[in-house]
Amino acid sequence: MPLYMIVKAMTCAVVVLFATAAAASIVAEWNAAALAEVRAGTLGPPMVARALAIAHTCMYDAWAQYDALAIATTVLRGSLRQPQGERTDINKEKAISFAAYRCLVNLFPGGAPDFINLTAVMNKHGYSLTDTTMPANIGNTAAQAVIDARIGDGSNQYGDLNPGAGPYADYTNYKPRNDPMAFCTPLMSQCAPLNITVQKRWQPLIGPPDRGSVTQKFVGPYWENVTSFALTSADQFDHTTPQPEIVGGSQDYEQNVDEVLQFSAGLNAKTKLNVEYWADGPASEFPAGHWGLFAQLVSQRDANSIDKDAKMFFTMHNASFDAGIVGWHFKHKYDGVRPITAIRYLKQGQLVLAWGGPGHGTESIPGEKWMPYNPGSNLTPAFPGYISGHSVFSSASATVLRLFAGDNFGIPIVIPADFGRVEKGIVPIPAVETTISFPTFSEAARQAGLSRIQGGIHFMDDITVGYDLGVLIGEQAYAKAQTYILGTAQ
């Protein structure tokens, strides 16, 4: 079935898994704690994917010392492997916890006050940071080895590649081809004139005045330089990946613009809810973390052992990490235009049929004032369009979950009434508490991508190409992870 057909007769739901159930494995507990740190922090999407991958690599490497075959990803390998009698769940839980804590403190040094989310898990299990037992030592040693291995990986976590600019700051001197676009919506009587110099390239936006009129900067233009988990290189898929349709001839350009406008004009309660559910912007867990929530649900549904969760979360989050590297490589390579720039440029001086803004339905509006249906302070994210991060993160994660659990999701998820943010206090989305379930992980990943054209954030090939790449990335990460899990990695 074509991707654009999947929208039919759909309801969606939202759940914020701030904490996992009592029966959750220690790995799922630490995933929940890590996501709480993500929500409280300021990292961008690919940085979040890296942080979650590193955290679960630390946990996996500690766990591996209690397995008969598995080896760590660092020089530690199996040097602290414990005898059969020591391979208890109690020891695994402690080793994993110390590894997680040490790793997350490093990844979120300015995290939630006093690391409240992290200390809560340690306190719950009665762990003291001064513990010197073998499991604690294994956890600390495994974490430090991963931290050391990631120093100088191109992420600029410590800000040393651009001194004075702060952690994760750009060090490649990226400059947008277009000056920033002034804030404008169909509800404003007057807007500043368009200032689009290169119509098919990304344009940063200036945020709303009531939120400080902050000008966007490309988040992570250098991210293709980061050392991956399983990729041969950030550009390994270039030879099979087409350029964005939007940069083709005028017919392709107009067709893509008109397709986004059709989705905008067709917005209804169901499609708005799909957009709201998958938005995953600032103050959320971002797409990589959203799939951590799904993995928590799967862990609890299937009553996963510590062993299975150590492997599953490790593999999934490293696949997502690699997805971010590939996705941001294409974002930097093509500097792809977002619909807001393309539509306003191509349709300026014309009336278009589209969503008319918060509290308005579908109506004729000036093309140069068109806006997407997107929660948050900015009308579109602070980086280029092609390819869709939502699609590539989701598809890579879904691929790994499918390989571990079969392509059977189906867990009911509940959205409270009036969850939506775009029209908060105006139009309740949803009107009543709503429950949905995605039948498969693959379907969930497709819906994540589809939500981005429904909201006017992406063009269709941003989504379809991202999805296809995510499958390849997920399969490659799974194969790489298996070499560690089976102890065959060189």
Q: Going residue by residue through the chain, which has 490 residues, state the pLDDT in tens, using 9 for 90 and above.
A: 333 233 322 333 334 433 344 478 999 999 999 999 999 999 999 999 999 999 999 999 999 999 999 999 999 999 999 999 999 999 999 999 999 999 999 999 876 667 899 999 999 999 999 999 999 999 999 999 999 999 999 999 999 999 999 999 999 999 999 999 999 999 999 999 999 999 999 999 999 999 999 999 999 999 999 999 999 999 999 999 999 999 888 889 999 999 999 999 999 999 999 999 999 988 899 999 999 999 999 999 999 999 999 999 999 999 999 999 999 999 999 999 999 999 999 999 999 999 999 999 999 999 999 999 999 888 999 999 999 999 999 999 999 999 999 999 999 999 999 999 999 999 999 999 999 899 999 999 999 999 999 999 999 999 999 999 999 999 999 999 999 999 999 9
The CA-CA-CA angle for residues 479, 219, 287, to 5°, reads 50
Q: Rounded to whole angstroms, how far apart are CA atoms 98 and 118?
A: 10
Please provide residue 355's backbone torsions phi and psi, each rounded to the nearest 5 degrees: -60, 135
Give the strand pairing for 434-436 and 351-355: unpaired
- In the chain the first and final C-alpha atoms are separated, in Å, by 42
Q: At residue 70, what is the residue type?
A: A
At residue 24, the pLDDT reads 87
Residue with tokens 């059709």: 262
Which token pair is 366? 């000036």
Fold classification of 9-485 is: Vanadium-containing Chloroperoxidase; domain 2 (1.10.606)
Q: Which helix (H) or strand (E) holds 300?
A: helix 286-301
The CA-CA-CA angle for residues 216, 238, 54, to 5°, reads 60
Q: Rounded to whole angstroms, how far apart are CA atoms 240 and 395?
A: 17
At residue 112, the pLDDT reads 66
Q: At residue 59, what is the residue type?
A: M
At residue 377, the pLDDT reads 81
At residue 13, the pLDDT reads 32
Q: Rounded to whole angstroms, how far apart are CA atoms 63 and 42?
A: 29
Cβ(317)–Cβ(52) below 8 Å: yes
Distances (CA, A) of 87 to 77, 136, 303, 478, 480: 17, 14, 19, 25, 25
At residue 378, the pLDDT reads 86
SS3 content of the chain, % helix, strand, coil (to 5): 50, 5, 45
| Buried-exposed string 132-170: b where 16+ CB fall within 10 A, e elsewhere | eeebbbbbbbbbbbbbebbeeebbbbeeebbeeeebbeb
